[in-house]
Structure 1
């Protein structure tokens, strides 16, 4: 099992593209959830993402692209929640199937 610290096991919220870029640059692997306020499926993902971070050691960041609309175009966000996996600064996988359970997200990261 991969050793993690508290910062890696709790999803972190960022508000701007610059904040997100800094997190992407600082991590070898990073899972980003794009969500919006008032989205029930997005809110239901929060505890799932905490489980995923604890079980995989992959840091999780959440961002509302409406807080910085440039993110919508930059990452082609067409629906929420959308999960993007970044490896070495590049988006390598996308999951935009609405609410999914922890097992599905863990499989997505594998």
Structure 2
């Protein structure tokens, strides 16, 4: 007998969680409290709504980049996004608006790039268009707790 779509979704979701946990543990990026994971040093490619929910609930501050491969400003922003993932305390997530149209719509991405900043599980800022690294660092800093 084959799995129902709901069973298959749950199986995939659990597998993704295990893979993310294992990758973070292998990188030695669990924080000292054992409570939550430290932020990954590279952007997290979002695979769907459940995956985004997991990322947002796991990390205190998450910058979500809604992008498209064909978008010039998105391509210009890519090095900045990768740099922010490495250099800031925020987790950085990427949502391909073509592959995940419904999710992009729920995130309010009417144009690309759209960046949505989550703090403590809630969306707190949204910007549209290419932003400078300094602007994005300031945005993240404003919503990050004391170090």
TM more than 0.5: yes
TM interval, shorter chain, is 0.7 to 0.9
Cα distance between partner residues in 2 of 1:7 and 1:90: 17
**Correspondent of 1:68 among 81, 100, 105:** 100
The answer as to 2:139 corresponding to 1:108 is yes
1:54-93 counterparts in 2 under 5 A?
54-93=86-125
The equivalent residue for 1:30 is 62
Larger Rg over CA atoms: 2
**Correspondent of 1:13 among 37, 45, 54:** 45
Cα distance between partner residues in 1 of 2:75 and 2:47: 17
Q: Contact 2:39–2:90 at 8 Å: present in 1 too?
A: no
Q: Which runs of 5+ in 1 are unaligned?
A: none
Q: Contact 1:14–1:20 at 8 Å: present in 2 too?
A: yes
The equivalent residue for 2:130 is 99
TM-score (norm 1): 0.84
Q: Contact 1:34–1:65 at 8 Å: present in 2 too?
A: yes
Count the aligned residue pairs: 106
TM-score (norm 2): 0.65
Q: Which runs of 4+ in 1 moved over 4 A?
A: none
3-state secondary structure, aligned to 1:8 = coil
